[in-house]
Amino acid sequence: MIWRLVVLGGVCVLLLGAEGSSRGGRTVTFHRPQQDESQGQARARPRRDMSSSSGTPRPFHGPPFTSCRTPLTPVEHKVLDDNTYETGFNGDDGSHVILTWVGDGTGVVLVLSTFSAPIDTFLEGGSSRLYRSTDYAKSFHDISHRINNTFIREEFGVSVGPGSSVILTADVPVVNNPGGVIFTSTDAGATFKYIQLPFHLAQPITYHFLNPDYLVALSIDGSLWLSLDFGAKWTKVHDGVHSFSWGAGINLFFSYSRTDTVYADERGDLVLKRTKDLGQTFTTIHEDIYSFGYIGAFLFFSVMEDSRSPRVMYFSSDQGETFSRAAPLRLHRAVLLHPGWR
């Protein structure tokens, strides 16, 4: 299978005949259904050929490029021709392709080709494929060997943080494994470090917005973990955590359940806490909350004070030191800003 990447004046366009979505403006994900023509079943990626090659690129036989229908002037044609580059990824049949820009002004673009359900490919000995460009996607090199040709979890994607930091999460079975595996890079994917985690991730790792060494993660058993050295070592911060968010500075907010039940958030039984010293001490901000969020310099949380009345929204502008009950108009605006709150 062949897919290709076309760069038009610095804008990457992936030609797969597939649907795409954007993640935060720096990452784009494309999905292509993989069906066997004869049996209608999803096909597993064959084992990667690890033998040496002659280095001669195979010819690209992709579909013909369709020119723009809008008439262009000769000058515009020349500018477009001078800034258009096309890369063919021969033999890559990944059903999910994630394209991510790394850093500012680095020219580095990473492309991850993988599957959403790779168990059949595990049995076949296949792997995800990782490509890297250092010239703003004009050309790419297969760097899958830098992550040991490992399957990467498609739903976690390519996690890019401040500076040139990158994290990839391996698809590791929970059974018979004490923890998951991540690959970290501090040089925009030029090199990667293999790290064995003491837990299994429930969601992608969260960077501190300024310091890439500060990482927060939530495990599948509801434990909150913190790393201060870009994932090399991890410390458990709290158990029974439902959600968390960085605040200003190194303030870290999280809600947890005292009864350790999955329905605590639906009943409004969560406790909102804050740590100002990276997990050394904790302060309880409010009890019996449903949910919380942090936007800009404001902390919001909802509380059911009376079962016969609607939930009440509180907000704080000083990292939870003090808080006030939001007026109905402010509550309405807060819900618009964060529609996920209940």
DSSP-assigned letters across all residues of 6-49: EEETTEEEEESS-EEEEETTTEEEEE-----TTT--PPPPPPP-
> What pLDDT is recorded for position 107?
93
Q: Please give the Cα distance from 47 to 45 (Å, whole number).
A: 7
Q: If you average pLDDT over every residue of the chain, what do you get?
A: 79
Write down the domain spans for the chain. 1-155, 206-342
Instruction: Give pLDDT tens digits for 49-90.
Output: 433 333 444 444 445 556 666 788 889 888 888 888 887 777
> What pLDDT is recorded for position 141?
94
CA atoms within 13 A on the CB side of 207: 19
Query: Is the per-residue pLDDT at 329 higher than 60?
Result: no
Query: Is the per-residue pLDDT at 229 higher than 90?
Result: yes
DSSP-assigned letters across all residues of 240-298: SEEEEEE-STT-EEEEEESS--TTHHHHT-EEEEEESSTTS--EEEEEEEEEEEEETTE
Q: Please give the Cα distance from 179 to 199 (Å, whole number).
A: 4
> What pLDDT is recorded for position 17?
46
> What pLDDT is recorded for position 117?
52
> What pLDDT is recorded for position 111?
94
Please work out, in degrees rounded to the nearest 5, the angle formed at the alpha carbon of residue 41 by the alpha carbons of 40 and 47: 135
Q: How far is CA 74 from CA 67, 71, 78, in A?
A: 14, 10, 6
Query: Is the per-residue pLDDT at 341 higher than 90?
Result: no
> What pLDDT is recorded for position 254?
97
On whether the CB atoms of residues 314 and 308 are closer than 8 A, the answer is no
Mean pLDDT value across residues 119-146: 79
> What pLDDT is recorded for position 196?
97
Helix (H) or strand (E) holding 337: helix 328-337
Instruction: Give pLDDT tens digits for 11-37.
Output: 555 554 445 554 545 777 766 655 444
Instruction: Give pLDDT tens digits for 272-328.
Output: 999 999 999 999 999 989 999 999 899 999 997 777 778 899 999 999 999 999 876
On whether the CB atoms of residues 223 and 187 are closer than 8 A, the answer is no
Q: Please give the Cα distance from 264 to 342 (Å, whole number).
A: 13
DSSP-assigned letters across all residues of 161-215: -STT-EEEEB---STT-SS-EEEEESSTTSS-EEEE-SS-BSS--EE-SS-TT-E
> What pLDDT is recorded for position 128?
87
Residues 6+ apart with CB under 8 A from 188: 102, 103, 106, 108, 164, 166
Taking the complete model, does pTM exceed 0.75, yes or no? yes
Q: Percent of the chain having pLDDT more than 90? A: 51
Between 169 and 341, where is the model more confident?
Answer: 169
Between 97 and 274, where is the model more confident?
Answer: 274
Q: Please give the Cα distance from 243 to 153 (Å, whole number).
A: 21
On whether the CB atoms of residues 4 and 15 are closer than 8 A, the answer is yes
SS3 329: helix
Instruction: Give pLDDT tens digits for 200-209.
Output: 999 999 999 9
